[in-house]
Amino acid sequence: MNSKIKIFIQNFSYTFISNLLSVIISTVLILLVPKFVSVEDYGYWQLYIFYSSFISYMSLGLTDGAYLRFGGDEYKDLHKPVFVFQFWFLVLFDIVINLSIAVIYSINSMDPNKSIVVFLTCLTGVLVVPRSLLTFMLQATNRIKEYSIIIIIERVFYFILVIIFLFVGIDRFEYLIFSDIFGKLFSIIYACFICRELVFGKFDSIKNSVREIWVNISVGSKLLFANFASMLIIGIVRFCIERKWSVETFGKVSLTISISNMLMLFINAIGLILFPTLRRTSEKNLPSIYKMMRTVIMVPLLILLIFYYPAKLFLSIWLPQYTESFIYMALLFPMCIYESKTVLLINTYLKTLRKEKVMLIINLITVAMSIVLTYFSVYLWKSLYLSVLSITLLLAFRSIIAELHLSKALKIKVRKDIVLEVCMTGIFITVSWYLKASVAWIIYFIALVVYLYIKKSEIVYLLKKSKSIKKSK
């Protein structure tokens, strides 16, 4: 059996376990937390999760640059003293920046609960950003097992603490956030132990260390801004929803987004090991791998959409206070189709081909569209439904434009597949929004059968390929 395939399967097994655990924990928390805490507290908790997703980008692109530059290298070959300096530089930088943000916000804020959320978010930033240098280097050098353990530690401690607090009747949002912070704290302690050569030890010369920081920032800034712009695409819509309506409404919409994102956890696991693998792969093999991976991802995701109907029924019974928000699931569920393809395949390939500038330009164009759509849907038409639908439309637009550009670079044809996926998601949204669940399920099932028939030859080829791999073990 090909050694690269063996390593890929071995690494995937580690990410599979960590992501299976993440799926279980996320599912339990999504079902339990809104059941036991008030809608307002849930909203503030989601606000913390929302803010912390942005605070993690305060690395100046240093970690992204290191990831791009050393992706595919061996961990033992890294020049450790340079990374020691960079790690402690990030620690000091983030303490100063996050402390400044917390103080400035608390002085100007009129909402004490939001001030608490912002302060705890800044505390999270001090932990997350330096840790990202370590986790990025583990991913870049294909030490997926250690990376997976770090994620498992964070999620397990977080989960245990949340359950303990809910069990003893402590249902304030602050304690939910404390659980997350302690989970991250324990994980960074383990990360520092695993990557102790990158954390403890002598610094390289100041001149060389500063030069390396500058090079990493120069290389990674485009990717950082591209990823940040990617966050803004949905972030602008969510931020304006919270401002226009309320924290409670923000929490309800966030719950629906969280449920939709659950479908992406397993798919995105592959992305962790795909980048270093592709960096070691000959460019002539990239197009064929892309077409295979595309089918592996898109077919299961489109099949998973059919579970929306029983999921909506179950969640409406379990969380009756959020019944209204589950209506939005019909609009948001398809976002996982486009976001998974973008994050896993398109962005991974663009990074492998070192086209971070393309990622940035496409994301900035989509951010501009997000601003326009948000203005019309939130402030002009005052429609929450259109605001939520715009999230899926924006992610679909970005995915399609990026894939068309990538297909030219790889010299492959994807237009037919893109049209098929747009038709499938369009059918799903339309029937789920306007028709009864039973009728909508039947129509989408028929559409799915037609789609699978069209893709029959590709699916059969993949099945034969997987059998040949098993026999070669």
Residue 168 lies in a domain: yes
Question: Domain boundary at 142, 177, 204, which?
Answer: 204
Determine the pLDDT at residue 470.
47
Determine the pLDDT at residue 123.
94
If asked whether residues 459 and 336 sit together in one domain, one would say yes
Q: Which residue has the higher pLDDT, 181 or 328?
A: 181
Q: Which residue has the higher pLDDT, 76 or 120?
A: 120
| Of 265, 4, 304, nearest in space to 148 by CA | 265
Highest mean pLDDT among 22-31, 285-294, 447-456: 447-456
For 414-431, write each residue's pLDDT tens digit: 999 999 999 999 999 999
Residue 216 lies in a domain: no
| Of 135, 118, 140, nearest in space to 54 by CA | 118
For 25-40, write each residue's pLDDT tens digit: 877 888 889 999 999 9
Residue 440 lies in a domain: yes
Determine the pLDDT at residue 15.
65
Determine the pLDDT at residue 440.
94
Q: Quick check: helix, strand or coil at residue 37?
A: coil
Q: What are the structure tokens assigned to 402, written together?
A: 């990026």
What burial class does residue 140 get, using C-beta atoms within 10 Å of its C-beta: 0-12 exposed, 13-18 middle, 19+ buried? buried
Determine the pLDDT at residue 193.
93
Q: With 60 as the cut, is the pLDDT of residue 273 above it?
A: no
8 A C-beta contact, residue 58 and residue 101: no
Determine the pLDDT at residue 101.
93
If asked whether residues 190 and 238 sit together in one domain, one would say no
Determine the pLDDT at residue 93.
94
If asked whether residues 199 and 235 sit together in one domain, one would say no
What lies within 8 Å, CB to CB, of 287 at 6+ separation is: 410, 411, 412
Q: Which residue has the higher pLDDT, 175 or 290?
A: 175
Determine the pLDDT at residue 246.
84
Instruction: Compute the mean pLDDT over every residue in the chain, rounded to the nearest whole number.
Output: 85
8 A C-beta contact, residue 4 and residue 277: yes
With bands split at pLDDT 50, 70 and 90, how would you rate the model's confidence at 119? very high
Determine the pLDDT at residue 16.
65
Q: What is the mean pLDDT of residues 288-304?
A: 84
If asked whether residues 6 and 137 sit together in one domain, one would say yes
Lowest mean pLDDT among 20-24, 384-388, 446-450: 20-24
Residue 252 lies in a domain: yes
If asked whether residues 18 and 107 sit together in one domain, one would say yes
Question: Domain boundary at 204, 239, 267, which?
Answer: 204
Residue 149 lies in a domain: yes
| Of 238, 204, 265, 185, nearest in space to 21 by CA | 265
Tally Cβ neighbours within 10 Å of residue 96: 11
Q: What is the mean pLDDT of residues 174-180?
A: 94
Determine the pLDDT at residue 473.
46
With bands split at pLDDT 50, 70 and 90, how would you rate the model's confidence at 289? confident
Determine the pLDDT at residue 22.
74
Element (H, E) at 30: helix 3-36
Q: With 50 as the cut, is the pLDDT of residue 237 above it?
A: yes
If asked whether residues 349 and 460 sit together in one domain, one would say yes
State which residues form the domain around 405: 221-473
Q: Which residue has the higher pLDDT, 90 or 461?
A: 90
8 A C-beta contact, residue 159 and residue 29: yes
For 186-231, write each residue's pLDDT tens digit: 999 999 999 999 998 888 888 888 899 999 898 888 878 888 888 8
Determine the pLDDT at residue 279.
59
Q: With 80 as the cut, is the pLDDT of residue 128 above it?
A: yes
For 2-15, write each residue's pLDDT tens digit: 555 555 556 556 66
Question: Domain boundary at 162, 177, 204, which?
Answer: 204
Residue 411 lies in a domain: yes
d(CA 69, CA 276) in angstroms, rounded, equals: 11
- Is the pTM higher than 0.75? yes
Determine the pLDDT at residue 141.
83
If asked whether residues 35 and 161 sit together in one domain, one would say yes
Number of domains forming the structure of the chain = 2
Residue labelled with tokens 């259109």: 386
If asked whether residues 106 and 142 sit together in one domain, one would say yes
Determine the pLDDT at residue 13.
64
If asked whether residues 182 and 278 sit together in one domain, one would say no
If asked whether residues 225 and 200 sit together in one domain, one would say no
Residue 210 lies in a domain: no
If asked whether residues 160 and 308 sit together in one domain, one would say no
With bands split at pLDDT 50, 70 and 90, how would you rate the model's confidence at 376? very high
With bands split at pLDDT 50, 70 and 90, how would you rate the model's confidence at 97? very high
Residue 211 lies in a domain: no
pLDDT-above-90 percentage for the chain: 39
8 A C-beta contact, residue 205 and residue 81: no
Q: What is the mean pLDDT of residues 219-244?
A: 87
For 50-71, write each residue's pLDDT tens digit: 899 888 788 888 988 888 888 7
If asked whether residues 31 and 165 sit together in one domain, one would say yes
